[in-house]
Amino acid sequence: QVQLQESGPGLVKPSETLSLTCTVSGDSISGYFWSWIRQTPGKGLEWIGYIYHGGSTTYNPSLQSRVTMSVDTSMNQFSLQLTSVTAADAAVYYCARGYRYGDGYYYFDSWGQGTLVTVSS
């Protein structure tokens, strides 16, 4: 059974870069769409973007100018970088596996436990 685990600093200073890594175990990273999703009490669940195992990406336009995702298939990991963070970026960040089937249907079938990121000086 696939397992996902987020890692990275829980505290980031305003204007700095948030960096998180998701380590995938129990299955290959190939063949899936790997997403980052964040959750706040105010905005709920927000999809940040995905990276395919080959490296192609699609980002949420609301964050596109600040987001970079990368994948390391040799380590079975993928990563998120979010630049110029503000208090509005404080959230629980989840990594999730996206599965595509049929005529472009997608769903998130496995999630990490989530990691709380606080933005404060």
27 binds other proteins (CB under 8 A): no
Phi and psi angles of residue 20, each rounded to the nearest 5 degrees, phi first: -130, 150
Mask 92-121, x = binds other proteins (CB under 8 A)? --x-x----xx-xxxxxx-xxxx-------
SS3 track for the chain: CCEEEEECCCEECCCCCEEEEEEEECCCCCCCEEEEEEEECCCEEEEEEEEECCCCEEECCCCHHHEEEEEECCCCEEEEEECCCCHHHCEEEEEEEEEEECCCEEEEEEECCCEEEEECC
**Considering only residues 32, 34, 47, 78, which one is a binding residue for other proteins as defined by CB under 8 A?**
47
26 binds other proteins (CB under 8 A): no
Mask 54-93, x = binds other proteins (CB under 8 A)? ----x-xxx-------------------------------
Q: In terms of CB distance, is 54 or 104 closer to other proteins?
A: 104
| Residue with tokens 């980031």, as numbered in its chain | 12
Q: In terms of CB distance, is 16 or 114 closer to other proteins?
A: 114
Interacting residues toward other proteins by CB under 8 A? 44-47, 58, 60-62, 94, 96, 101-102, 104-109, 111-114
